Structure 1
Amino acid sequence: MSLKGDLEKYLAVVAISVRNRLEYRFTFYASLVLTPLVFLTIAFLWSSVYSTAPGGKVGGFSLQEMLSYYAVAELLFLVLASEVLYDTTEEIKSGEISVYLTKPMSFHLYNFFRNLGNALVSVGLRAVPLLVIFKVFFDIFIQTNVLVLAGFFASVVFAAVISFLVVSLIACLTFFDLQPWASTQVFWVFNTIFSGALVPLSLYPAFLRGAVEATPFALTTFVPVMVYLGKMDYSLEVFALQAFWVVVLFVLLKFAWSFSIKRIEIYGG
């Protein structure tokens, strides 16, 4: 099939994904209320911490920078959130995955572009409105430097690919355990701690931070947010590290997928 034909095929997947997500607008609208309420709790917590912080800073962050860190991290989570784990489990249980395996398209590319459709809707219905809400009510920092923003968006693109590859690797466990609740929960705990979504990695002890920053998780949240805040340059070194993990995770996924589909059992008749 031609490159144009492949592109049209995957763009159609994006379009279908967008339409499907728009059918559940209430979920997005609810997040416009619930997310700021959760963020308000975070703001109160850190305001209390900063009230006794010497020099008005914690780990090199001012209160505005800390709140901005959490705001951007939350927006990244909403945009990059993947349903690959859930979808893969359900498709194996129902036997629907056999249909995808016989289609003239990559199952992983199909999932990637399906996620892309979800992300586009999340940007429009969640990220942009929440960014405005966070700015109006919490006065978060808005980056205006074009070069910094270019580095930020480049890091987010890599973060999206890395996040997708990691989740796809975990999804391969579903072929061996149709109720992979424990393994997925462990994964999300590790992801939350090591990505910097819980607290900025710069607040971790030096020995732990070094180990955490060696994982791909830090590249999905901590690095993009720090680049956005202007606390880290999107240098050639950062670019190379993200590219390195994309290659490593891609190769691992190829091997894991090849091994997993040999063990597949079709459920649901």
Structure 2
Amino acid sequence: MAPRQRLAAYAGVARVQLRTQLVYRGDFLFRLLGLLVNIYMLRLVWDAVYPASGTATGNGGHRIALATQIAYVTLALVQNWLLNSGGMGFIPQRVREGTVAVDLARPVRFPSQMVWAQAGAVAAQLPFTVVALPFALLVGGARPPASVGAAFGYLLSLLPAVLISLLLTTLVQMVAFWTLETSGIFVIHRFVQQFLAGALVPLWFMPGWLRVLAEWMPFQATTYAPVAVYLGQAGVWATLGVQLLWCAVLLMLLRLMWWRALRRVVVQGG
């Protein structure tokens, strides 16, 4: 298949999933309401625990103002919600129902199909996110980017952040080829992902050993890194370098895991 045809096929997969997700608009609205409540509650918590001076000392001696912290929490939660709105049921459902056989018969690779399908699901959330963002900023806290360069760097860093998030989700879902009971694994992944991504607590407030651990994990490249660039707390090019490195590593891991999973499917089918 020619590259143009392959790209058209992947775009078609994303389009189908986008339309499928838009059928459940009511569900999205309730989830957005939950997101806004989460943002508001976290703002109350940070307002209560912050020093009366309005600034706190982060890891490494950096002074973090309350306004910066509130802006971080608001943007990080919205961004994390958007990037992880594709769901975790694509591959388990196909394995459980046997429709994975149809996916394997297509002239494009199965992992790529799943990544593009989840990309379509994420794209379906964009209109709802745009509508809800002003309310999120109202109950949370709005703050312009640190500079024009920071705004450009933030937009640039979102591209690899989306890819890393999609690859991580696909990798975790691959466990469905080894076990049909995946709910426990997905719950653990959701907790670890949200915490180490810095969606609840930014890395600059984590203990030294925990921050080092988080910095060596790919999760922070999806949420903390872009938001830190936006607020001027991280360099653009260093962030992009780490993100691109994780993109390459996760792509190789996904290819290796699919190579093993494909042989697992042959064993089950035989």
What TM-score, normalized to structure 1? 0.89
Structure 2's unaligned 5+ residue stretches are none
How far apart are 1:84 and its partner, in Å?
Answer: 5.9
Report matched runs for 1:174-193 at 5 Å.
174-193=176-195
Q: Secondary structure at the match of 1:55?
A: coil
Query: Bigger CA drift: 259-268 or 82-91?
Result: 259-268
Aligned to 1:260: 261
Aligned to 2:53: 55
- CA separation of 1:232 and 1:64: change in aligned 2, threshold 3 A: same
Residues paired across the two proteins, number: 264
Letter of the structure 2 residue corresponding to residue 27 of structure 1:
D
Cα offsets for 1:241-265 (capped at 9, x unmatched): 1111111111111111111121127
- Percent of aligned pairs sharing the same letter: 25
Query: Bigger CA drift: 4-13 or 152-161?
Result: 4-13
Query: Does the 8 Å contact 1:70/1:197 carry over to 2?
Result: yes
Q: Secondary structure at the match of 1:117?
A: helix
Query: Does the 8 Å contact 2:115/2:167 carry over to 1?
Result: no
Distance in 1 between residues matched to 2:90 and 2:141, nearest whole Å: 37
How far apart are 1:266 and its partner, in Å?
Answer: 9.4
Query: Bigger CA drift: 15-24 or 90-99?
Result: 15-24
Query: Does the 8 Å contact 2:104/2:110 carry over to 1?
Result: yes
Aligned to 2:142: 140
What TM-score, normalized to structure 2? 0.89
Aligned to 1:204: 206
Distance in 2 between residues matched to 1:258 and 1:105, nearest whole Å: 15
Aligned to 2:30: 30
Aligned to 1:109: 112
Q: Secondary structure at the match of 1:30?
A: helix
Letter of the structure 1 residue corresponding to residue 99 of structure 2:
E
Aligned to 1:90: 93
Aligned to 1:221: 223
Cα offsets for 1:36-75 (capped at 9, x unmatched): 222221111111112xx05311333322221211111111
- CA separation of 1:95 and 1:179: change in aligned 2, threshold 3 A: same
Structure 1's unaligned 5+ residue stretches are none
How far apart are 1:30 and its partner, in Å?
Answer: 2.2
Distance in 1 between residues matched to 2:264 and 2:126, nearest whole Å: 37
Letter of the structure 1 residue corresponding to residue 76 of structure 2:
A
- CA separation of 1:128 and 1:158: change in aligned 2, threshold 3 A: same
Letter of the structure 2 residue corresponding to residue 12 of structure 1:
G
Query: Does the 8 Å contact 1:82/1:164 carry over to 2?
Result: no
Aligned to 1:78: 81
Letter of the structure 2 residue corresponding to residue 39 of structure 1:
I
Distance in 1 between residues matched to 2:175 and 2:222, nearest whole Å: 22
Query: Does the 8 Å contact 2:198/2:224 carry over to 1?
Result: yes
Query: Does the 8 Å contact 1:84/1:168 carry over to 2?
Result: no
Residue 15 of structure 1 pairs with residue 18 of structure 2: no
Letter of the structure 1 residue corresponding to residue 14 of structure 2:
V
- CA separation of 1:38 and 1:194: change in aligned 2, threshold 3 A: closer
How far apart are 1:184 and its partner, in Å?
Answer: 2.4
Distance in 2 between residues matched to 1:88 and 1:201, nearest whole Å: 32
Q: Secondary structure at the match of 1:61?
A: strand
Query: Does the 8 Å contact 1:10/1:110 carry over to 2?
Result: yes
Query: Does the 8 Å contact 2:35/2:78 carry over to 1?
Result: no
Query: Bigger CA drift: 17-26 or 75-84?
Result: 75-84
Aligned to 1:167: 169
Letter of the structure 2 residue corresponding to residue 254 of structure 1:
R
Query: Does the 8 Å contact 1:162/1:220 carry over to 2?
Result: yes
Letter of the structure 2 residue corresponding to residue 56 of structure 1:
G
Aligned to 1:118: 121
